Amino acid sequence: MKTAIVYYSQHHGNTKKLLDAICDADMSVTLINAAEKTEVDLREYDRIGIASGIYFSSFAKPLLSFVSINLPAQKPVFFIATCGSPRKNYFDEIRHIAKRKDCTDLGSYLCTGFDTYGPFKLVGGLKKDHPTEEEIQGAVDFYNGLGF
């Protein structure tokens, strides 16, 4: 089973912490940083993860653009996100892109992460000790539960 996870984790590396733990559990996973690459042929992968920190209630714009261009049709996909305040479904926009490409949605994982974006910087940030070890393990458990 070949798995690629395309990600964007620029601010505090919260999302990357989850992905590093997943890679430690499954060393065959390929990570693709959407901040460094604009085009990658993903057709060789059996399933594709899409992971991002949440920026103004959405997955990072460079990641959305990358997925719109590079996500092959009819692939199984899963989603991972970190955010300062998990109050709403942040997966709507990225799921819409995957649905347009007739991809199979395997599920999503969301946890909190240290957040100093925008006005939160004025108060020293939110969720300073996140993601926690339990949240990181939750991401690994989510990934391991995807099957295949």
Transcribe 60-100 into DSSP letters. -HHHHHHHHHHPPTT-EEEEEEEES---S-TTHHHHHHHHH
| pTM summary value | 0.89
pLDDT, tens only, 64-105: 999 999 999 999 999 999 876 677 688 999 999 999 999 999
Cα angle vertex 100, ends 95, 102, to 5°? Answer: 90
Q: How many domains does the chain have?
A: 1
Question: What is the residue range of 119's domain?
Answer: 3-144
Give the CATH number for residue 15: 3.40.50.360
The residue with greater pLDDT, 140 or 119, is: 140
> The tokens of 84 are what?
């300062």
Q: Which contacts qualify for 88-93: CB closer than 8 Å, 24 or more apart?
A: 88/57, 90/54, 90/57, 90/58, 90/59, 91/59, 93/58, 93/59, 93/64
Q: How are beta strands 47-55 and 3-8 bridged, if at all?
A: parallel
pLDDT value of residue 20: 96
Reported as a single tens digit per residue, the pLDDT across 102-128 is: 999 999 999 866 554 555 544 444 556
